[in-house]
Amino acid sequence: MEPLPALFAQRMRDLLGHEAEELLAALDSPRGPAVRLSPLRGAVAGLASRLPWPTAPVPWCPSGRLVEAASSEVASHPFNDAGVYYQQDPAAMAVAEALAPQPGELVVDLAAAPGGKATHLAALARDGALVVANDVDERRARSLLGNVERLGVTAAVVTSARPERLGGALLGACDAVLLDAPCSGEGMFRRSDEARRAWSEAGVGRHAELQRRLIATAADLVRPGGRLVYSTCTFDPREDEEVVLWLLGRRPDFRVEPLDLPGAADAS
């Protein structure tokens, strides 16, 4: 693979000290695929027993399985076409588990394509919540719609609207909102040369500015007493902790809640 961006590596060393080498080594190590089984296609235990590969559980996601197979083999299997599972990184499975949607709720995934987290939200609510899955890019929204249909979700609305417009329509009405924000993609370095080549210091700054605008809109959607989960696939505090702190400085009606997912401490 392409070498990790030198400035990124130095930033991680400055941030994490001696622990940075473990992270950098992990980003240069191969990883196996994982799948999230769809309970809308059958009981998870039954579906798991029919998988043709050895598997191991994902601690924080009861429907998640680590798979001993090539990613291409998992992607080309008929079970994938049938919506039995969605191929998804284990870390990404934690996001919907944290939001924990319930039947009867109005749930918004503000930047939903390609649909892994939106379909997970629907599955956790047993297809009993109304999930509004939005992506501003119409082409990506069509891919999102295909995955919503493939995974067996029926209680969903797929939209392609600017977040501000969606915010105007659903202002203060949503029980649970997910913003999986566009980011500099450092979490993709383990599997993508393109992500390594595309990364830049300026890109981190541009994404942080965009993320602040998006999280402000996401917060406007949440009803009093509702829940907002903000996630990225990057490590830079400017795109993570600092964005959350920026929101808390503007919106004192929000507070940070502790996150207690099984196995998360061991995976950190």
The DSSP string of 173-209 is -EEEEEEE-----GGGTTT-HHHHHH--HHHHHHHHH
Tell me the backbone φ, ψ of residue 264, rounded to 5 degrees: -65, -35
Residue 77: strand, helix, or coil: coil
Burial zone of 109 (CB within 10 Å; 0-12 exposed, 13-18 middle, 19+ buried): buried
What are the helix (H) ranges across 29-127? 44-49, 71-76, 78-81, 90-99, 116-124
**Of the candidates 133, 96, 138, which has an alpha carbon nearest to the alpha carbon of residue 117?**
96
Residue closest to 176 by CA, chosen among 241, 231, 131: 131
- Joined tokens for residue 112: 């939903």
CA separation, residue 149 to residues 63, 111, 156, 182, 189 (Å): 19, 18, 9, 24, 30
Q: For this structure, is 233 an active site residue?
A: yes
DSSP reduced 3-state for 24:
helix
Over 225-260, what HEC string results?
EEEEEEECCCCCHHHCHHHHHHHHHHCCCCCCCCCC
Residue in 61, 174, 183, 233 annotated catalytic: 233
Give the pair of three-digit tokens for residue 263.
């196995």
Task: Report, as residue numbers or ranges, the catalytic residues.
Answer: 233
